[in-house]
Structure 1
Amino acid sequence: MDSISPTILKVFAGIGLLYLSAKAFSFFRLLTSLFILPGTSLSKFGRKGSWAVVTGASDGIGKEFATQLASRGFNLLLISRTASKLSALSSELKSASKDGSLQVKSFAMDFAENKDSDYDSLTQLINGLDIAILINNVGLSHSIPVPFLSTPADEMKNIITINCVGTLRITQLVAPTLVARKNGLILTMGSFGGLLPTPLLATYSGSKAFLQYWSTSLASELAPHGVTVSLIQSYLVTSAMSKIRRTSPTIPNPKMFVKSVLGKIGRSGGAQEWAYSSTPYWSHGVMQWGISTFVGVGSWVAVWANRGMHEGIRKRALRKVARDAKKQ
């Protein structure tokens, strides 16, 4: 067999060098984004006393967004389902205000009901407010992992209505104010469930994938108007939705997670393959970069591994239900 010519060897060596250089640069970019470079200061988007709107504000990540934004001088419009929780949070935030100047408005609504009257009332409530920030945090997942064909109709409908329709309608109400002031910030909470096709969470996974494409498209539309839009990706966070209570290197609590989000505005973190997106928490960013670089988010391997993990979670959840039923 004829030997390979030196020219062809040089071509292949050059291609290999370019590939390795690209991966090395990508890894360097990941590290600088997660650990070195700061994000855009929140003061860029609004002066002290301007308003931030937070959906799903009464618990978990939403409550922490409200707390940290209040500590940075933003007044708050809190939207969630339970009026009593909103009232308690409002009192808590006002009590913690150092100079007593914090203003908090709250509005209780069930996003699953999708009532025009609720959105009409919200329109009146935000009228005249100098809104600088919108946090699209409201969301719903399945109670436990479930095959799509076994998903209850109400659960499927509520996930789509809350995650997709609710987020779009709130944004349509608030974004015109940001465009008019030629400045503002919209953060929408994504999920690895939308990044990675997730068997047994198919409806939730699809809803979060929808938000990824919608948010990226919206970001391009609003950028010429001075409005910053970003889809925030995350793996698990301790919360009522995740049903996880203990933190770990890959599972932060809401305080840790929100601090990373607000500290890395405008930085991609691990979301290098997506424009106008960020995975700011350090371990989540490293995980996403590793999966994207070495596995592929939509690959057979990723889908197979995700299915196996959620089948295991479902089995454990069903065993727990059976044990609890015997105790009654």
Structure 2
Amino acid sequence: MDISKHIECLSQWPNHLAPGLPTIGALLLLATGGMVVGCKIWSFLRVILSLFVFPGKPLHSFGPPGSWAIVTGASDGLGKEFALQLARAKFNIVLVSRTESKLIALGEEITKQFPKVQTKTLAMDFSQNADEDYAALNELTSDLDVSILINNVGQSHSIPVPFAQTPASEMSNIITINCTGTLRVTQLFVPGMIQRRRGLILTMGSFGGLLPTPLLATYSGSKAFLQQWSTSLGSELAPHGIEVELVHAYLITSAMSKIRRASASIPTPRAFVRAVLSKIGRSGGSTAYAYSSSPYWSHGIMAWFLTSVMTPMNKIVISQNKSMHESIRKRALRKAEREAQKKST
């Protein structure tokens, strides 16, 4: 028997049996491609359902009315709006930020709008990383039932800047405020939440931490750190009934973004915070990391697209991000030059 002829015959079997019939390899490729496309479609459907259909966990599942919420960076923008909306939900509020006069004014505003809600304030400069400030916060809250912690305090670069030109003080402040401050505050309140077996720790992230952001390198790195920390912390605390969530945000009208006009992709603090608090526990468009969320509808769709669709073209995304911030830097430098000229005349 000529074995070689049998082998040759078998190798030609599919086409000999039925010309035009796909080979097994082609079928496997087709099936794999179909599975990939199907997974992407299913992923997008989950995002749509999370953003527009399914509700989040109710706030009072983390603590009863009259328990306390801590809000850092509370005097302006998102922090102020978190405080107002949590007060509306009947939580008492501890307001922590740098400027005492703004904290007092916000406390009075909350008391006027919600007479049954109590407030406490602490003026604290997170960039100083002073032990006495954290001791004061611990003493102020030692006998309180703290159900919710909003880690909102943060700092970005004054304008987009190449890393090599970043002022040392700005670099230090970003890391100290965004990273060290967030960790130290959280560590004050985790033990009590573990003891009560309930609580919410919500930390403000950024698209700058979701994707590398040239010309905001230090800020981007600090937010990426918070992403990994929050995901790790979420896994640690889940068995204790504590919800941990890092919120990815694109641009919002605020003093930090220097944007005043809202649009479909740039919400007001009120609209953004409303979305966050109504979607606790839902991932929105943040499908890349556990214990993360991008709950505002346009931000969620963008987050999904950038992490699920554009990942193979990551260099393109980074290049576009770089070009955008180079343009912002040029405009900021021209504005600073005009203002300097006005002062000199």
Cα drift, residue 8 of structure 1: 2.1
Aligned counterparts of 1:315 and 1:195: Cα–Cα separation in 2: 24
> CA offsets, 1:106-161, max 9 Å, x none?
00010000100011111111111001000000000000000111111100000000
Distance 1:291 1:297, change over 3 A: farther
**Candidates 185, 196, 207, aligned match of 1:181:** 196
Question: Any residues of structure 2 matched to 1:15-164 within 5 Å, and which?
Answer: 15-97=32-114, 100-164=115-179
Correspondence for 2:183: 168
Partner residue, 2:298: 283
Question: SS of the residue aligned with 2:150?
Answer: strand
Map 1:239-278 to 2 at 5 A. Answer: 239-278=254-293
Q: 2:283 is aligned with what amino acid?
A: S
Shift of 1:56: 0.2
Q: Which runs of 4+ in 1 moved over 3 A?
A: 2-5
Q: Deviations over 1:259-285 (max 9, x none)?
A: 000000000000011101000000000
Query: For the residues of structure 2 that align with 1:300 and 1:309, how far apart are their CA atoms?
Result: 14
Amino acid at match of 1:253: T
**Which sits farther off after the overlay, 290-299 or 262-271?**
290-299
Amino acid paired to 2:255: A
Q: How far apart in 1 are the matches of 2:312 and 2:56? A: 26
Q: Identity over the aligned pairs, expressed in percent?
A: 58
Q: For residues 151 and 65 of structure 1, what CA distance do their matches in structure 2 show?
A: 31
Q: List gaps (5 residues or longer) in structure 2.
A: 1-11, 16-20
Which residue identity is paired with 2:164? Answer: L
AA paired with 1:191? Answer: S
Q: Secondary structure at the match of 1:299?
A: helix
1:301 to 316, 319, 328: 316
Equivalent residues of 1:196, 1:298 under 8 A apart: no
Task: Look at both structures and tell me which one has the larger radius of gyration over its CA atoms.
Answer: 2
Contact 1:51/1:132 (8 A) holds in 2:
yes
User: Which TM-score applies when normalising by structure 2?
Assistant: 0.92
After TM superposition, the score normalised by the length of structure 1 is 0.97
Gaps of 5+ in 1: none
1:211 Cα shift?
A: 0.2
SS in 2 for 1:211: helix
Equivalent position of 1:227 in the other structure: 242
- Greater displacement, 54-63 / 295-304: 295-304
Change (3 A) 1:297 1:15: closer
1:211 aligns with 2:211: no
